[in-house]
């Protein structure tokens, strides 16, 4: 309990710190605004702001198509990517995106034009054939899935590249746009493409909403789902079909090489942020959509930069932020927790030493001199003074003329730590058959992490014993809750 | 065979006839015959690779079958799957999957709920009762990644209980659990048996197999023996299950597998 309380405390302090810094940055930005405005009217920045304004008004139809397109493909890929990541199928997305390329070429050859529907159908079918090959290879040979995926990915991609180069040589002017499928060209998204994307997005969202229960059951434990008579195979194939469709609609904007990042990155980000699947899927879809929008916006500001890579960079930035500042496993919160933990343990050990010194003469004196403490801890007075100052700054002790006095809070914490230590020693010797000379070091670590509930349980099991294995008094929980005797009636 | 089964009018709870399963032509089960009545706690015993897991998977249609058939109450599995419960091996799932204990137990209801529908309040009540039965109710809202091995096993047991089935297949429910958990699982199994359920439990440990089960199925590629534990748990039959007699059969199976591989 102590631990969780402190964890919450440190979390709040961490939050306060982040918010504080964030406000400082905002304030700095606010100060910059007049400067930007002063500079901006004629300068380059002003031009960019005008450009941003043009983008945000969505008046330009080309901008509208790109915005809708990137939003739709980002959301669709994010949503399906969430399932993909929890099913540990992340590499399947990569194989799928490369396997669709021959289908793009065949779809073009179908009526010798960049007809979005024909290309969509051809690419999706090619993707499904690719995944069918993967599963056939893993079922009928001893090859494992990773090898099969790598094989299918490369061979389909190679065939696709050859077909595309052949098409490029055809004397058809319209074929020029096909190379965009390799690296993506969001500006080529037209109203026809938007229609296909909207249909795919709608089908994907309806599919996930309607069959959520079955999707989760199959993703978590497919054999169990099948044993219950759930249509696991149908659900799986429908999912693979929609995954292929999502890859295909993203292809034109992001390109074969990067499209799997749209499936994996938002989902991986969401995976770090939550442990609830519905929330993971929601975050993943939102982050995917947001990455799409951000990529479209940035590429509109700087037309030299391609939209697809910018979308992927935006998604990667979200991911980087989640890795650094994630609420549970973020690197910052982990560093912070460790720092807080180390500091707390050090203060508690100082309090414990004070308690030990005061205990020698039965708490007759109110304070503990720094010299006594230094002798006890086998440290110099200087080192001990630093520890005393630290206690003072945390409201656990007062330091007056080289003498440390417990505050009520400090006295209570000291008693708790000593109690935890001695209870644990007693428990180890009595119930776990540890020799009395073995228990001290174990208790040194445990004393800082025993929760209130565990302590009560220990006291109960040990029949509220008064003496530890070394014959010293164990402060009881009920005593510690009374006003501290040292502080109240101290003779100073 | 129990005498009640000789009455042809009542089909046995589970009847297996000449069941053969092969992985890439190498037989894993070879001509298995079995008939089991209601209210039995059956232990499936045999060495590694004897086909224990394959047998229960084949019964539920989870693995392709080369020959023979399986009937429950005289009907194929697909018609009665809602009356059959399953506890797979614990390692077959990813315990980092982002769901709670309650979510997993509710999955035991999915076969009954039907497509497109969400679990009802009644389903949640059943799931809670099942968690209570395996002493995991306080953990209902925990993420499954925070569970110990024994707790994971009990979550799977609770999910199977939530199926409210009449026949249960359990694949090594005692693997990697502590003695206290094992004892509590045995209590649950016996309660189910006393309610008239028939349970098939793949088990590894011979001494406890003798205590836990009413009947034993000694399996190694085919049925070495099936009958009341006291009759079947003999040095001779165990010797035949774990070595000796079947070595020739295994060698032939191995040869068939090699032939299949080289083709």
Q: Where are the domains of chain B?
A: 3-262
User: Quick check: A271 and B98 CB within 8 A?
Assistant: yes
Mutation target for B interface from A229, A278, A284: give the one with most B CBs within 10 A: A229
Choose the closest CB to B118 out of A213, A220, A280: A213
Tell me the helix, strand and coil percentages in chain B, rounded to 5. 45, 25, 30
Choose the closest CB to B98 out of A214, A229, A277: A277
Q: Map residue B164 onto helix, strand or coil.
A: coil
Distance, in Å, from the CA atom of A294 to the CA atom of A313, rounded to the nearest integer, reads 9
Helix (H) or strand (E) holding B69: strand B67-72
Is A48 part of any domain? no
User: Quick check: B113 and A213 CB within 8 A?
Assistant: yes
pLDDT at A40 > cutoff 50? no
Is A19 part of any domain? no
- Number of A to B CB contacts under 8 A, please give it: 76
pLDDT at A5 > cutoff 90? no
Structure tokens at B96: 């980092």
Looking at the structure, do residues A347 and A319 belong to the same domain, yes or no?
no
Is A355 part of any domain? yes
User: Quick check: A219 and B60 CB within 8 A?
Assistant: no
Q: Binning pLDDT at 50, 70 and 90, where does residue A490 land?
A: very low
For residue A29, what pLDDT is reported? 55
Mutation target for B interface from A228, A270, A280: give the one with most B CBs within 10 A: A228
For residue B62, what pLDDT is reported? 94
Mean pLDDT of A324-334: 89
Looking at the structure, do residues A360 and A299 belong to the same domain, yes or no?
no
User: CA dist A409 to A396, A412, A487, B263, Å?
Assistant: 6, 5, 10, 80
Looking at the structure, do residues A131 and A220 belong to the same domain, yes or no?
yes
The whole-angstrom distance between residue A237's C-alpha and the CA centroid of its chain comes to: 30
Q: Binning pLDDT at 50, 70 and 90, where does residue A21 land?
A: low
Choose the closest CB to A228 out of B24, B81, B97: B81
Chain A residues whose CB is inside 8 A of the B118 CB are 213
For residue A438, the domain's CATH number is: 1.10.10.10
Looking at the structure, do residues A128 and A159 belong to the same domain, yes or no?
yes
Backbone angles phi, psi at A445, to 5 degrees: -85, -40
pLDDT at A165 > cutoff 50? yes
Looking at the structure, do residues A369 and A228 belong to the same domain, yes or no?
no
User: Quick check: B98 and A275 CB within 8 A?
Assistant: yes
Q: Is the ipTM of this complex over 0.85?
A: yes
Looking at the structure, do residues A296 and A390 belong to the same domain, yes or no?
no
User: Quick check: A227 and B159 CB within 8 A?
Assistant: no
Residue finishing a domain among A307, A329, A351: A329
For residue A311, what pLDDT is reported? 93
Q: Binning pLDDT at 50, 70 and 90, where does residue A346 land?
A: very high
User: Quick check: A216 and B107 CB within 8 A?
Assistant: yes
For residue A317, what pLDDT is reported? 96
pLDDT tens string B38-54: 999 999 999 888 899 99
Mean pLDDT of B135-150: 92
Give CA torsion, residues A135, A136, A140, A145, to 10 deg: -30
Mean pLDDT of B53-80: 95
Using a CB–CB cut-off of 8 Å, the residues of B that contact A are 24, 57, 60-62, 78, 81-82, 84, 86, 88, 92-94, 97-100, 103-104, 107, 110-111, 113, 115-119, 143, 145, 159, 163
pLDDT tens string A212-244: 999 999 999 999 999 999 999 999 999 999 999
Structure tokens at A463: 């029949």
The C-alpha R_g of chain A, in whole angstroms, comes to 33
Q: Binning pLDDT at 50, 70 and 90, where does residue B256 land?
A: low
Q: Map residue A141 onto helix, strand or coil.
A: coil
Structure tokens at A276: 């609830």
Q: Are strands B67-72 and B84-87 parallel, antiparallel or unpaired?
A: unpaired
Q: Binning pLDDT at 50, 70 and 90, where does residue B249 land?
A: low
For residue A481, what pLDDT is reported? 64
User: Quick check: A228 and B163 CB within 8 A?
Assistant: yes
Distance, in Å, from the CA atom of A35 to the CA atom of B189, rounded to the nearest integer, reads 76
Chain A residues whose CB is inside 8 A of the B113 CB are 213
pLDDT at A110 > cutoff 60? yes
Angle between helices A331-360 and A408-431 (to 10 degrees): 90
Is A51 part of any domain? no
Nearest chain B Cα distance for residue A234, angstroms: 12
Chain A residues whose CB is inside 8 A of the B88 CB are 221, 223-224
Structure tokens at A380: 């110099």
Looking at the structure, do residues A199 and A90 belong to the same domain, yes or no?
yes
Looking at the structure, do residues A167 and A272 belong to the same domain, yes or no?
yes
Q: What percent of chain A has pLDDT over 90?
A: 43
pLDDT at A36 > cutoff 90? no
User: Quick check: B107 and A217 CB within 8 A?
Assistant: yes
pLDDT at A483 > cutoff 80? no
DSSP A26-66: HHHHHHHHHHHHHHHTTSHHHHHHHHHHHHHHT-SHHHHHH
Q: What is the 3-state secondary structure (H, E, C) of A366-397?
A: CEEEHHHHHHHHCCCHHHHHHHHHHHHHCCCE
Is A436 part of any domain? yes
User: Quick check: B115 and A214 CB within 8 A?
Assistant: yes
> Based on the structure, what is the number of domains in chain A?
2
Q: Map residue B44 onto helix, strand or coil.
A: strand
User: Quick check: A213 and B110 CB within 8 A?
Assistant: yes
For residue A252, the domain's CATH number is: 1.10.3470.10
Looking at the structure, do residues A325 and A353 belong to the same domain, yes or no?
no
User: Quick check: A211 and B113 CB within 8 A?
Assistant: no
pLDDT at B263 > cutoff 50? no
pLDDT at A16 > cutoff 60? no
Chain B residues whose CB is inside 8 A of the A227 CB are 60-62, 81, 84, 86
Residue of A nearest to B93 (CA): A221
Helix (H) or strand (E) holding B260: helix B247-262
Mean pLDDT of A4-13: 40
Choose the closest CB to A217 out of B110, B118, B143: B110
CATH code given to domain B3-262: 3.40.50.300
Q: Binning pLDDT at 50, 70 and 90, where does residue A302 land?
A: confident
Q: Binning pLDDT at 50, 70 and 90, where does residue B109 land?
A: very high
For residue B248, what pLDDT is reported? 56
Looking at the structure, do residues A294 and A436 belong to the same domain, yes or no?
no
CB B165 within 8 A of CB B156: no
Looking at the structure, do residues A422 and A308 belong to the same domain, yes or no?
no
Mean pLDDT of A433-449: 80
Backbone angles phi, psi at B184, to 5 degrees: -70, -35
Chain B residues whose CB is inside 8 A of the A231 CB are 115
pLDDT tens string A254-289: 888 899 999 999 999 999 999 999 999 999 999 999
More confident residue, A100 or B23: A100
pLDDT tens string B187-224: 999 999 999 999 999 998 888 898 999 999 999 989 99
pLDDT at B79 > cutoff 70? yes
Distance, in Å, from the CA atom of B226 to the CA atom of A185, rounded to the nearest integer, reads 68
Is A460 part of any domain? yes
For residue A42, what pLDDT is reported? 46
Q: Are strands B26-36 and B14-23 parallel, antiparallel or unpaired?
A: antiparallel
Residue ranges making up the domain that contains A418: 343-488
Distance, in Å, from the CA atom of A125 to the CA atom of A478, rounded to the nearest integer, reads 73
HSE of A95, CA atoms in CB hemisphere, 13 A: 24
Is A191 part of any domain? yes
Choose the closest CB to B86 out of A213, A227, A230: A227
Chain B residues whose CB is inside 8 A of the A137 CB are none
User: Quick check: B86 and A224 CB within 8 A?
Assistant: yes
Looking at the structure, do residues A353 and A208 belong to the same domain, yes or no?
no
Average pLDDT, chain A: 84
User: Quick check: A229 and B103 CB within 8 A?
Assistant: no
A187: left (phi over 0), alpha (psi -120 to 50) or beta: alpha
Distance, in Å, from the CA atom of B205 to the CA atom of B189, rounded to the nearest integer, reads 17
């Amino acid at each position: 309990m102590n631990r969780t309380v402190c964890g919450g405390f440190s979390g709040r302090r961490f939050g306060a710190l982040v918010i504080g810094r964030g406000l400082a940055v905002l304030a700095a930005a606010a100060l910059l605004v007049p400067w930007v405005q002063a500079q901006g009217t004629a300068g380059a920045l002003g031009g960019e702001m005008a450009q941003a304004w043009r983008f945000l008004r969505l008046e330009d139809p080309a901008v509208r198509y790109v915005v809708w397109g990137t939003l739709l493909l980002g959301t669709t890929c994010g949503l399906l990517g969430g399932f993909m990541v929890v099913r540990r199928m992340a590499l399947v997305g990569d194989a799928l995106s490369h396997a669709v390329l021959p289908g793009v070429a065949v779809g073009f050859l179908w009526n010798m034009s960049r007809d979005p529907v024909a290309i969509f159908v051809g690419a999706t079918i090619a993707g499904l054939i690719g995944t069918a090959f993967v599963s056939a290879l893993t079922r009928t040979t001893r090859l494992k899935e990773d090898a099969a995926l790598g094989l299918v990915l490369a061979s389909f991609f190679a065939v696709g590249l050859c077909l595309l180069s052949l098409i490029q040589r055809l004397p058809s002017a319209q074929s020029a746009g096909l190379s965009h499928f390799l690296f993506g060209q969001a500006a080529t998204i037209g109203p026809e493409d938007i229609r296909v994307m909207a249909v795919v997005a709608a089908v994907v969202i309806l599919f996930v909403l309607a069959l959520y229960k079955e999707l989760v059951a199959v993703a978590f434990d497919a054999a169990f789902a099948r044993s219950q008579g759930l249509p696991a195979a149908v659900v799986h194939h429908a999912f693979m079909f929609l995954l292929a469709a999502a890859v295909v609609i993203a292809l034109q904007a992001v390109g074969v090489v990067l499209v799997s990042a749209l499936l994996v990155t938002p989902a991986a980000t969401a995976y770090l942020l939550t442990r609830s699947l519905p929330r993971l899927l929601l975050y993943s879809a939102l982050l995917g959509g947001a990455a799409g929008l951000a990529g479209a916006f940035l590429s509109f500001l700087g037309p030299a930069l391609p939209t697809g890579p910018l979308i992927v960079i935006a998604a990667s930035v979200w991911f980087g932020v989640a890795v650094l500042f994630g609420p549970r496993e973020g690197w910052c919160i982990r560093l912070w927790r460790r720092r807080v933990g180390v500091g707390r343990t050090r203060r508690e050990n100082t309090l414990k030493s004070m308690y030990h010194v005061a205990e020698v003469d039965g708490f007759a004196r109110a304070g503990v001199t720094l010299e006594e403490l230094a002798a006890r801890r086998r440290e110099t007075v200087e080192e001990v003074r630093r520890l005393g100052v630290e206690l003072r700054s945390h409201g656990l002790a007062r330091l007056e003329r080289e003498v440390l006095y417990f505050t009520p809070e400090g006295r209570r914490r000291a008693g708790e730590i000593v109690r935890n230590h001695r209870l644990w020693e007693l428990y180890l010797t009595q119930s776990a058959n540890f020799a009395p000379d073995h228990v001290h070091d174990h208790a040194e670590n445990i004393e800082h992490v025993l929760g209130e509930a565990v302590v009560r349980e220990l006291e109960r099991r040990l029949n509220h014993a008064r003496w530890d294995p070394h014959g010293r008094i164990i402060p009881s929980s009920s005593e510690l809750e009374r006003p501290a005797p040292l502080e109240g009636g101290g003779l100073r | 065979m129990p005498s009640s089964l000789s009455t042809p009018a009542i089909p046995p709870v589970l009847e297996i006839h000449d069941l053969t399963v092969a992985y890439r032509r190498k037989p894993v089960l070879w001509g298995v015959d079995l008939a089991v009545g209601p209210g039995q706690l059956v232990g499936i015993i045999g060495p590694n690779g004897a086909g224990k897991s394959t047998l229960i998977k084949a019964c539920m249609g989870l693995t392709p079958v080369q020959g023979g058939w399986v009937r429950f109450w005289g009907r194929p599995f697909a018609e009665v799957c809602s009356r059959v419960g399953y506890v797979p091996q614990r390692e077959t799932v990813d315990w980092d999957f982002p769901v709670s204990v309650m979510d997993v137990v509710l999955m035991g209801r999915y076969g009954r709920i039907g497509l497109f529908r969400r679990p009802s309040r009644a389903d949640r009540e059943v799931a809670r009762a099942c968690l209570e039965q395996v002493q995991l109710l306080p953990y209902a809202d925990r993420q499954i990644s925070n569970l110990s091995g024994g707790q994971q096993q009990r979550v799977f047991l609770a999910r199977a209980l939530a199926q409210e089935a009449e026949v249960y297949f359990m694949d090594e429910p005692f693997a990697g659990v502590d003695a206290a958990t094992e004892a509590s699982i045995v209590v649950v199994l016996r309660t189910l048996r006393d309610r008239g359920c028939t349970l098939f439990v793949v088990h590894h440990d011979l001494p406890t197999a003798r205590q836990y089960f009413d009947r034993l199925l000694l399996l190694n590629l085919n049925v070495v023996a099936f009958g009341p534990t006291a009759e079947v748990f003999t040095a001779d039959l165990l010797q035949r299950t774990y070595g000796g007699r079947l070595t020739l059969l295994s060698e032939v199976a191995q040869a068939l597998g090699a032939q299949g591989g080289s083709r």
